[in-house]
Amino acid sequence: MSKMRLAAFVAAAAALCLGLAPDAKADGHEVKVGVILGFTGPIESLTPAMGDSAELALKEASDSGAFLGGKVLVPVRGDSTCIDAAAATAAAERLVTAEGVAAIFGADCSGVTIAITNNVSVPNGVVTISPSATSPALTTIEDNGLFFRTAPSDARQGQVLAEVLTERGINSVAVTYTNNDYGKGLDGSFENAFTALGGTVEISAAHEDGKGDYSAEVGALAASGAEHLAVFGYIDQGGKGIIQTAVDTGAFENFIVADGMIGDSLIEAIGDDLTGTIGTAPGSASEGAQMFLDHAAANGVDGDGPFRGESYDAAALIVLAMQAAGSADRGGIAGHVMAVANGPGEPILPGELAKGLQILADGGEVDYVGASSVELTEVGEAAGSYAVMEVEGGAFVTKEIR
């Protein structure tokens, strides 16, 4: 009897293990890639198009037939929530253990990306490439060479914003930032750069997301006497609430926003009062950026928006690194990301993944350029070019690239 039981137990345990960790490579044809973005939460209006852009790159590689001798890439989505580190870790854990993904595209917001890198990517040895996590803290994270990002660090964005403001003769601002890694990081880098250029930050106050009422926060910001308000927050959250309240009470008329606040839904919510707002977001006016827009439009994806090109590029890097490694084993990918992202080699633009895959299959070298002119620094993050935008006629219009 006990032998029977033991046998049943072993069988059950084996079945359970198989059930819980089906090997993605087992059927030899599919390669799963995790797509973790905040499909709910403070940037839920930005993420669907980011996910579509990334999946466009995966589909392109699958359709080419050249990926690892004709294998198919299957995206598996997970919800990072953007703000809840525990939920994001659980979602990533599920992708890695239950779905058996070969690599992770994501996450989006800095806090959850740090959590996923520390708790899931590094312990499991899974490469993670984020299109939009911009906290300076990720530059120095202990990632064992597994974390990359196609978005530049906010240390650079703060610098760019400070330069733009100084050149326009604005030398006194009030700053409010969302109380998390992203907000604090950007606030710190902006304040350092702005002060070094001779500007004054009259007040720098955090705001909590998800509150009903921001009149007290805006009252304090207005009391500083500054005429310009810089908002480093989220478009669907406190950032919008602050700008709305500031406009309603007449506290500020001039706004400066960073990448988390740039999007059409902000203009829809606030209206004409936003005209003249200055903003920065990662982006470039290169040949690749235009090619990406055309390529996305041809495939039914709206590529014109924040972090969409970066998303395509991050997914493309995952694909090319797998091809360069010659297999979709987790271990091999990390070592080839830098080689495909930077020169030497044949430049690869959006829509040319088939060509890149073929070159790699033939033993050649590629230098992926993509939509955002990808060039990774030695810690594996984009060196960063920023689009300086201004609200004109009800839309964010790109003024210059720096």
Partner 1 sequence: MTDVANAIVLLTNFVIVPGVAYGSQLALGALGVTLVFGILRFANFAHGDVMAFGTMVALLTTWWFQGMGVGIAPLPTALIALPFGIVAAVAFNLSADRVVFRFYRRRKSPPVILLIASVGVMFALQGIVRFIIGPDDRRLADGARFIIKASEFKAATGLKEGLAIKLSQGLTVVVTAIAVTALFWFLHRTRAGKAMRAYSDNEDLALLSGVSPDRVVLYAWLIAGTLAAVAGTMYGIDKSFKPFTYFQLLLPIFASAILGGIGHPIGAVVGGFIVALSETAVTYAYKKFLRYLLPESWEPSGLMQLLSTDYKLAISFVILVVVLLVRPTGIFRGRVLS
State the residues that interact with partner 1 by CB under 8 A.
Answer: 203, 205-208, 210-213, 215-220, 222-225, 236-237, 248-251
Residues 39-63 as b or e (16 or more Cβ within 10 Å = b): bebbbbebbebbbbbbbbbbbbbbe
Alpha helices (runs of H) in 207-307, residue ranges in sequence order: 215-223, 238-249, 264-270, 287-298
Smallest separation (angstroms) from partner 1 to the CB of 275? 14
CB 108 within 8 A of CB 43: yes
Residue nearer to partner 1 on the CB measure, 72 or 206: 206
Smallest separation (angstroms) from partner 1 to the CB of 83? 12
Q: What is the dihedral of CA 304, 306, 312, 315, to 10 degrees?
A: -160
Smallest separation (angstroms) from partner 1 to the CB of 234? 12
Smallest separation (angstroms) from partner 1 to the CB of 167? 28
Residue nearer to partner 1 on the CB measure, 166 or 275: 275
Residue nearer to partner 1 on the CB measure, 207 or 330: 207
Query: Phi, psi (5° rounding) for residue 128?
Result: -125, 125
Considering only CA atoms, which of 220, 221, 153, 224 is closest in space to residue 193?
Answer: 153
Helical axes 47-64 vs 287-298, angle rounded to 10°: 80
CB 47 within 8 A of CB 301: no
Smallest separation (angstroms) from partner 1 to the CB of 239? 13
Residue nearer to partner 1 on the CB measure, 152 or 241: 241
Structure token pair of residue 293: 């827009």
Residue nearer to partner 1 on the CB measure, 144 or 249: 249
Residue nearer to partner 1 on the CB measure, 129 or 226: 226
Residue nearer to partner 1 on the CB measure, 209 or 310: 209
d(CA 160, CA 182): 16
Q: How far is CA 182 from the centre of its chain?
A: 12
Smallest separation (angstroms) from partner 1 to the CB of 179? 8
Distances (CA, A) of 328 to 36, 102, 263, 336: 19, 6, 36, 12
Query: Phi, psi (5° rounding) for residue 70?
Result: 100, 15
